[in-house]
Structure formats: structure tokens, C-alpha cells
């Protein structure tokens, strides 16, 4: 797995911004208020996100529930590209972003991070990236906000097991992958962004 930088930049009292190895992709760690009753944190605040560098408007919220070892992705849209703010409400996943911006210095590079209901971290993935995840807990509830609507005619799937990308999904057995995701194309044949 690619290493995540430990440098942390405070955005405001509510969230810490943690960079990754991919330009534009970063983790947000919210400030959590907890006591014997449970916890509270802001999972989204427009002002906080703007201070962190997320200026885009979100138009769609998605929620998936998946069992252990389900692998979803790697998805992207060639038209109506989506930026995604991903978090896990329950369980744990390995969340992966792949840079598909040909003009980027990190074109073809990937980043994998662990998101969980316990760490409450969020991953910001701007448009121009493919996204996918694998569930490492018994099940996981994954929630993500998207900056554009789902456009099935423009959706593309990058092969999760591409031999050139060599993504480390930390597998100990074959993952459960949908028929659509099994037909993902190789990175060298993928439609990419300029």
C-alpha cells in the first residue's frame, strides 16, 4: 500500500486535513466529541470543506452496504465526472483512488487508505480519478457524496486487478466482484482525462 503522509494541517476546529501521495486527494479527520452517551461529529459542513479546499457543490448522496471481501470498482465517469467525499459509518474498507488525469505528474498512480466507522476519516477524491473499495470487516456501510449525478451511459470501470497498476488490496482470498466489475478494462486501454 502506498504510504500516507503523516503531516497534518488544521483546517479549523472541526477537521484536520491529511495529504496523500496523490495531488488533490486527501483525508479529512473530523473532531469527535464523545462521552458515555456516544459521540457527535460534523460529517459535512460547507464552510469547513471550503477551507479544506473542496469548493464543489454536492448533488447526490450514496449509501452502500457490503459484506466482507466485497470489492467494488474501480469506477469513474468520462462525462459528468464525479468528485467524491467517502466515509464509512460502520465497518472498515480499503478505499482506493487511481489518477486518470493524463496531464498529472501522478498519472497512473494509486493511493489506498483505510476508512472505518471507528477512525471516522473521510477521503476526498476529486474528479479525474477512478474509485473503488474492498470491505475488510464483516460488513461495511459506505457513504459518499458526489459532485455530479450518476450517468450510466458515461460510467467506465477500470480493472481492479490490472497487472500494470498492481494495486495492493490486501487480499487473502478471491474477492466478491460484480459481473460488471469483472469486465473492467486494463489501465492501458482505459479512457482517461486530459
What is the model's pTM? 0.89
CATH number for the domain that contains residue 84: 2.60.120.10
How many domains does one find in the chain?
A: 1
* Contact status, residue 76 vs residue 126, Cβ threshold 8 Å: no
3-state DSSP assignment of residue 59:
coil
In a domain, 25, yes or no: no
Q: What does the DSSP 8-state code read for residue 36?
A: T
What are the pLDDT digits (tens) for 119-175? 999 999 999 999 999 999 999 999 999 999 999 999 999 999 999 999 999 999 999
User: pLDDT by residue (tens digit) across 27-58?
Assistant: 999 887 888 988 787 888 888 889 999 999 99
Catalytic residue among 75, 76, 150, 154: 75
The one catalytic residue in 76, 144, 150, 154 is 144
Host domain of residue 161: 56-189
Quick check: is 75 catalytic? yes
Amino acid at each position: 500500500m502506498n504510504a500516507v503522509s503523516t503531516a497534518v494541517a488544521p483546517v479549523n476546529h472541526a477537521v484536520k486535513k491529511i495529504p496523500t501521495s496523490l495531488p488533490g486527494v486527501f483525508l479529512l479527520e473530523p473532531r469527535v466529541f464523545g462521552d458515555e452517551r456516544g459521540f457527535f461529529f460534523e460529517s459535512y459542513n460547507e464552510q469547513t470543506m471550503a477551507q479544506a479546499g473542496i469548493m464543489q457543490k454536492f448533488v447526490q448522496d450514496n449509501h452502500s452496504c457490503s459484506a466482507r471481501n466485497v470489492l467494488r470498482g474501480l469506477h469513474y465517469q468520462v462525462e459528468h465526472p464525479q468528485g467524491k467525499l467517502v466515509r464509512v459509518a460502520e465497518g472498515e474498507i480499503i478505499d482506493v483512488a487511481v489518477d486518470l488525469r493524463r496531464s498529472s505528474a501522478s498519472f497512473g498512480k494509486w493511493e489506498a487508505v483505510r476508512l472505518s466507522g471507528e477512525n471516522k476519516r473521510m477521503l476526498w477524491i476529486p474528479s479525474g480519478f477512478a474509485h473503488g473499495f474492498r470491505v475488510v470487516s464483516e460488513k461495511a456501510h459506505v457513504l459518499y457524496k458526489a459532485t455530479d449525478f450518476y450517468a450510466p451511459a458515461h460510467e467506465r470501470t477500470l480493472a481492479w486487478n490490472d497487472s500494470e497498476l498492481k494495486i495492493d488490496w490486501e487480499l487473502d482470498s478471491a474477492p466478491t466482484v460484480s459481473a460488471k466489475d469483472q469486465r473492467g478494462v486494463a489501465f492501458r486501454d482505459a479512457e482517461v482525462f486530459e
